[in-house]
Amino acid sequence: MADKITVLLVDDHALVRRGFKRMIEDDPDLSVVGEASDGADGVKLAAQLKPRVIVMDCAMPVMSGLEATKKILEAQPGSAILLLSMHSEDTLVRQALQAGARGYVLKNAMDLDLAGAIKNVAAGKTVLDPQVAKPQSLKGERETGLTPREMEILQHIVAGKSNKEIANDLELSVNTVAVHRANIMDRLGIHKTAELVVYAIRNGLVNLP
């Protein structure tokens, strides 16, 4: 038992956790030592249990997986975090790796080898789902994701600010903000502000107070 790779599961859906736990514990080298239903509880349990690997959903209530990843690694830099997501956008993959995650895999992948991914991140390797492991995922090319300025404006949009208020805060022209807003929606394939806000929050693209 002492030689097993200890795993903490963090996902807001109990059925998903149960399925993943079964997949993980089918491997004799792995052991699930704890489960959490949101990012905040995940941070607490990571501190208490000190698992070698944390398998965590990106989009969760209370605290997103991205935010939880940053907090866990601030306290325990040696933790290996594997993020699970339904989304393959380059922006999210980049943010996950920038936050310090060692892996990013798609939850709905038919050939998801969760045990193998856990072992790889435990060994210090970076694991990317084949569907997201494109060169541009890591290069940070502007055309594949949101620019830092667009991320900044997205944060203000989620806070409910108008183009004029954002322009005042960031010392930009209203027209420039409008162009950025249009670019953000175009890049994410979203056409309504309300949908944009929900998308940004669910996918951990913004920091919530």
DSSP class of 60 = -
How do the residues of the chain divide into helix, strand and coil, expressed in percent and rounded to 5? 50, 15, 35
What residue spans define the domains of the chain?
A: 5-139, 146-202
> Tell me: the pLDDT tens digits for 79-110?
999 999 887 777 788 888 888 999 998 887 76
The CATH-assigned architecture of domain 146-202 is Orthogonal Bundle (1.10)
> What is the average pLDDT value for the chain, to the nearest integer?
84
Please state the CATH superfamily assignment of the domain spanning residues 5-139 in this structure.
Response regulator (3.40.50.2300)
Least confident of 76-85, 143-152, 177-186: 143-152
Give residue 57's pLDDT band: very low, low, confident or very high (50, 70, 90): very high
Q: Which residues does 53 contact at the CB level (< 8 Å), separation at least 6?
A: 5, 6, 7, 8, 79, 80, 81, 82, 118, 121, 122
Distance CA 72, CA 43 (A): 6
